Chain A
Amino acid sequence: MAADRLALPQGTLDLLILRTLALEPQHGWAIAERVQQLSSDALRIPQGSLYPALHRLERRGWIRPRWGTSEHNRRAKYYELTPRGRRRLEAGRTAWRKIVAAVASVLEPA
């Protein structure tokens, strides 16, 4: 069932998380689900690396935690994007577009 899923290129996990949180604050599980959903099931965040990544992003000041209530009415730790995180996301997106375009022009020359 995982065969057709793509392996996540190095460094893109952070970007995916930031992008997900740009829509609205989320808790950990929802972030993973949302990434899967947005990519039409093509991408899946390795469960083990989600939380270390969140801690890393928090340390860098790109996201910040906030306690909220989940859909099941339970206290949950939500993460939201900070202004710095938003800037970082934009920069990352631009860089990603360039990379994709560049790689594409090499792999599939017009």
Chain B
Amino acid sequence: MLSDLRFRLRALLRRSAVDAELDAELRDHLGHLIAKHEAHGCSREEAVRLARLEFGGLDQIKDDCRDARGIGVIDATAQDVRYAARVLGRDTVFTAIAALTLAVGIGASTTIFSVVDAVLLKPLPFAQAERVVFPWRLPADGFDLGFDIFPWHRVEFLTFARQTRTFARLGAFEGASFNLTGDGDPARVDGARVSAAFFAALGVEPRVGRTFSEQADRPGGPRETVISDQLWRRRFGSDPAIVGRTVLLNGEAFTVVGIMPAGFAFPQSAGMPNVFPLPRESSIWVPLALPRGPAYRGEPSELAVVGRLARGVSLDAAQAELDQFAEQLDREIPRGRGWHRSRAVPITQQLAGGTRRALLLLLGAVGVLLLIACSNVANLLITRAIARAREFTLRAALGAGRGRLIRQLATEHLVLAGLGCAGGLAVASVGVAIVRTSGPASVPRLAGAQLDATAFLFAVALALACALLFSAAPVWTSTRHDLAAWLKDAGSRSVTSARGLRARSALLVAEVALALVLAIASGLLVRSFVRLARVDAGFNPDRALTFELTLPSASYATEERIVALYSDVLDRLRALPGVESAGIAETVPMGGAGEGTGLRIPDRPTTDDNARPFANYTIASPGYFAAVGTPVLQGRTFADTDTATSLPVAIVSAAMARKFWPGQNPIGRQVGVPIRPYDMTVVGVVADVKHVSLREEPAPEIYVPYTQKPWPSMQTMHVIVRTRTAPASITAAVRNAIREIDPHLPLARVAALETFVDEALAQPRFSVLLVGGFGIVSLLLACVGLYGAVSYSVASRTRELGVRVALGASPRRVFGLVLGQCVRITVLGIAIGLGIALLALRVMEGFLYGIEPTDPATFAALSALLLAVALLAGYVPARRAMRVDPLVAMRVE
């Protein structure tokens, strides 16, 4: 083995010496051979001739020796690469087009891959993240709450946490935000109330200090808080002495006990079920401190739960325990039968959530684009191969083996793929930057997308795969020349090009078909997006400013105090110039999920708790519906005359009226919520409003006035101001007005109402832009491919066309002949593409809104578009064919 290596190394490194030795040896041998022949009585010339004949070509022997020495491959490869570079460099237009096509395909694929890698594949920053699971509660079978999972109830969580065997840790959490005061301006900080086991369940340790003690997680325990690395830097100037200090949250003193590591901001709304009002990023955590007592009547369920599986316990085992727990609760609380089931979701699946399918769709789209790019390059290569048939036949005639020719072509293609790969990486670096900055915020971990080693390797692997793909056809067509036929035909192109043309046509058909599939996919997305953007969300997002007010519980302890403040706020805002109307509500449309509640409807008495009517529940003020622009369909809105002492009233949504009083007039009907002993009278019906997603089906909703002792607390409310001009122009005045009322009240999430709608449209818009972009690029590529093919066929048939013209074919007929070829390919491609689209685009069902994945109008429109584009691509060369001058044509070749 060692001698082998030494030999090869010497052969490789001291090539010239080895070659010289061999040369001397061969000459010596030849000398002997000549001498021998002379000795047998031949003349000198005759002897030389015989010797050469016997010995064969010196170069051939040297080549064989080189192969025997084992450096032939390396040698030949270097030669091939040099040759390939020269060949590609000579034909700059071809090389540029091919490399650019590949660069687009590889670049787009690598961009999407790095997003997929960051969002779906990269490990989460939690220790043994595969053990982290979210158990969600499920609604009873056949019960539609408008969302498919719902939160845990306090008592059930505490019971399960006490008895679980499959979870090592089980923590609960809920989103919360706090007014952080002291140390400068009051600020609104988003975070969460979490139980002590929360951090351990996720598997994160604080960077500095500790997390909550068990004592802190009990009502009345020490008030402790943990802050994020970002908050520590931003608010506390990276002061290491912050641990142990006291901060004021909602006016109450909390001791900072720890700082979390950089990047930890869980819970985050991205990837989590939107029935949970979670912050975009958490930067502060306080103990949840759940009371341990029994549930009170009507106590809401609002906990999210995160668990860490015990060592060696499978997800299935945990699910089985949850199922057992559900049965146990069904037995213990027969009234809530069927409402105790849960589903355990692994964290990776949870966070990727709906994004996963969207990303896979993008990956599929980009894969199709890459295939189209490859077939385009293959097409170009076949054209070239036909043009170079002479060269290859000549080389074959001179003794180059088929293997050698294939190797050389393959090298050329690899060099091309290398160029494409380099270009693709450049495209991807731009693409990743764009995606990172302008991608939708709802995609978790999108900011982590980068062009790292994994993405780089992916691009290289992709380039190699492409090289294989686009090499197959041209290598096959250009190295199988029938030498004899070729020589007989004295090098006319017709013999060799037949096979090439067939392969090209097949490729073009495939390309057209794939381009159509991608175009239809993007067409469907665009139409669905337009419908989504035009959907009637039940409110008017233009010229409306919203912000959040959170009242410190210390200074706003009683309900009278809270009501007085909001009433004051409304009066001040309405008095501002430029304000059309103002209102407050617990949630704003598209601002996220609000509360939901069971209802008591005397008209529909029920003893079965499970069949209890259910509705979304929103606290609102007079002026609210005018401010958000929700039309009042019947009756009246809240008025200043609805007070704590007047008749309790409620307003219901159209969906609620339809569901509970079908065909009847809901005005004047009675309705109650569990927590209040008295019923309210319905005084108005308003339009249905979308809360979380523009796709959602309207769910029953009930509004109650903020003045009539509503449940639950009104500590955090949204204020909506409808303006006469741009909302931004009035922000400063609004801030002043609030400051005049109470200088310690921070305004949070100040935003135009339309930004909520924009955010809801961000992800579909992102998909539309990307897939639409891919669709357009694929149409262009197919167009370029057709143009190239038709042009080439015109060029190579110049003589034939000339003959036809000379024999009396009209220009029109020649035009039709050429264009006909283009049309045949396109129509066949469209037929196949339609078939594929019908079958494959079913996967898009979940992405589309208000449109079927087999929408005939979209299919027809894009087929027509593709046909038009193809005709355009064929038109130019067909015109050229019409003008063929028979005299010139005859002289060609």
Residues of A within 8 A of B (CB): 27-29, 32-33, 47-53, 55-56, 58-61, 70, 74, 76-77
Contacting pair A48 B29 (CB below 8 A): no
> In the complex, what residues of A have CB within 8 A of residue B7's CB?
58-59, 61
Whether B68 and A55, one on each chain, are in contact in the complex, defined by CB atoms closer than 8 angstroms, is: yes
Q: Would you call B3 an interface residue if the criterion is a C-beta within 8 Å of the partner chain's C-beta atoms?
A: yes
Partner of B28, one of A48, A49, A56, A76: A76
Q: Decide yes or no: A29 and B32 within 8 Å by CB, A48-B61, A52-B68, A77-B25 being known contacts.
A: yes
Beyond the given A55-B65, A55-B68, please list 4 additional residue pairs across the A-B interface where CB-CB is below 8 A: A52-B61, A59-B3, A59-B7, A60-B3
Q: B356 interface residue, CB < 8 Å from A?
A: no
Contact B68 A59 (CB under 8 A): yes
Q: How far apart are A39's CB and chain B's nearest CB, in angstroms?
A: 17
Given A27-B28, A61-B4, does the pair A77, B68 have CB atoms closer than 8 Å? no
Q: Is the CB of A56 within 8 A of B3?
A: no
The answer on a CB contact under 8 Å between A59 and B56 is: no
Complex-state Cα separation, A61 to B4, whole angstroms: 7
Least distance between B789 CB and chain A CB atoms (Å): 46
From A29, A47, A59, A70, give the contact of B69 (CB < 8 A).
A59
A-B contact count (CB 8 A): 60
Most buried by A among B24, B26, B65: B65
Selected A-B contacts with CB under 8 Å, 28 pairs: A27-B25, A29-B28, A33-B32, A48-B56, A48-B60, A48-B61, A49-B64, A50-B29, A51-B25, A51-B29, A51-B64, A51-B65, A52-B65, A52-B67, A52-B68, A55-B68, A55-B69, A58-B7, A59-B7, A59-B8, A59-B70, A60-B3, A61-B3, A61-B7, A70-B28, A74-B28, A76-B25, A77-B24
Report the bound CA distance from A60 to B70 in whole Å: 11
B window 20-61: CB within 8 A of A: 21-22, 24-26, 28-29, 32-33, 54-56, 60-61
Determine the distance from Cα of A29 to Cα of B56 in the docked complex, in whole angstroms. 15
Partner of B33, one of A47, A52, A53, A77: A47
* Interface size grouping (class) on chain B: 20 to 34
Min C-beta distance of B62 to chain A, whole Å:
8
Task: Decide if the interface of chain A is mainly helix, strand, loop or mixed.
Answer: helix
The residue on B at minimum CB distance from A57 is B68
Tell me which residues from 58 to 82 in chain B have a Cβ below 8 Å from any Cβ of chain A: 60-61, 64-65, 67-70
A61 to chain B, nearest CB (A): 4
> What are the residues of chain B within 8 A of A55 when measuring CB–CB?
65, 68-69
The residues of B with any CB-CB pair to A shorter than 8 Å are 3-4, 7-8, 21-22, 24-26, 28-29, 32-33, 54-56, 60-61, 64-65, 67-70
Contacts of A33 in B (CB 8 A): 32
CB proximity of B177 to chain A, nearest CB, Å: 76
Contact B28 A51 (CB under 8 A): no
Q: Within the complex, what minimum Cβ distance (angstroms) separates A80 from chain B?
A: 14
Q: Which 5 A-B pairs have the closest CB atoms?
A: A61-B3, A48-B56, A55-B68, A52-B64, A29-B32
The residue on B at minimum CB distance from A74 is B28
> Chain A residues near B55 (CB, 8 Å)?
47-48
How many Å from the CB of B32 to the closest CB on chain A? Answer: 4
Contact partners of A76 in chain B: CB under 8 A: 25, 28
On chain B, the residues within 8 Å of A50 by CB distance are: 29
B22 nearest CB neighbor, chain A only: A51
In the complex, which residues of chain A have a beta carbon less than 8 angstroms from the beta carbon of B3? 59-61
* A64: nearest chain-B partner, CB-CB: B3
When distances are taken between beta carbons in the complex, the residues of chain B under 8 Å from A49 are: 64
A61–B7 Cα distance when bound, in Å, is: 9
For B3, B21, B54, the residue with the greatest tally of chain A CB atoms inside 10 Å of its CB is: B3
CB nearest to A56 among chain B residues: B68
Q: Which residues of A contact B33 (CB under 8 A)?
A: 29, 47
Could you tell me if B28 and A53 are in contact, using CB atoms closer than 8 angstroms? no
| CA–CA, A68 and B22, complex, Å | 15
Q: How distant is the Cα of A77 from the Cα of B32 in the complex, in angstroms?
A: 14
Q: How far is the CA of A59 from the CA of B22 in the complex (A)?
A: 15
> Given A59-B4, A61-B4, do A48 and B25 touch, yes or no (CB 8 Å)?
no
Q: Which residues of A contact B26 (CB under 8 A)?
A: 51
Considering the chains assembled together, what is the distance between the CA atoms of A34 and B746 in angstroms?
106
Q: Is the CB of B68 within 8 A of A28?
A: no
Which residues in A have their C-beta under 8 angstroms from that of B22?
51
- B554 → chain A, closest Cβ, in Å? 90
CA–CA, A52 and B72, complex, Å: 12
Q: A47 CA to B32 CA in the complex, in Å?
A: 12
Nearest chain A CB to B23 CB, angstrom units: 11
Q: Are B61 and A51 in contact (CB under 8 A)?
A: yes
A70 CB to nearest chain B CB (Å) = 8
Residues of B within 8 A of A70 (CB): 28
Chain A residues within 8 Å of B25, by CB:
27-28, 51, 76-77
Q: Which residues of A are found within 8 Å of B28, using beta-carbon distances?
A: 27-29, 70, 74, 76
Interchain nearest-CB distance for B601 vs A (Å): 94
How far, in angstroms, from A58 to B28 measured CA to CA in the complex? 19
Residues of A within 8 A of B67 (CB): 52
A58 to B8, CA, bound (A): 10
Q: How distant is the Cα of A87 from the Cα of B303 in the complex, in angstroms?
A: 81
Min CB gap A64→B, angstroms: 9
Q: Which residues from A are CB-within-8-Å of B70?
A: 59
Interface core residue of B28, B56, B61 (most chain A CB under 10 Å): B28
Q: Which residues of B have CB within 8 Å of A53?
A: 68
Please name all residues of chain A whose beta carbon is closer than 8 Å to the beta carbon of B32 when the two chains form the complex. 29, 33
Q: Which of A29, A60, A61 contacts B29 (CB 8 A)?
A: A29
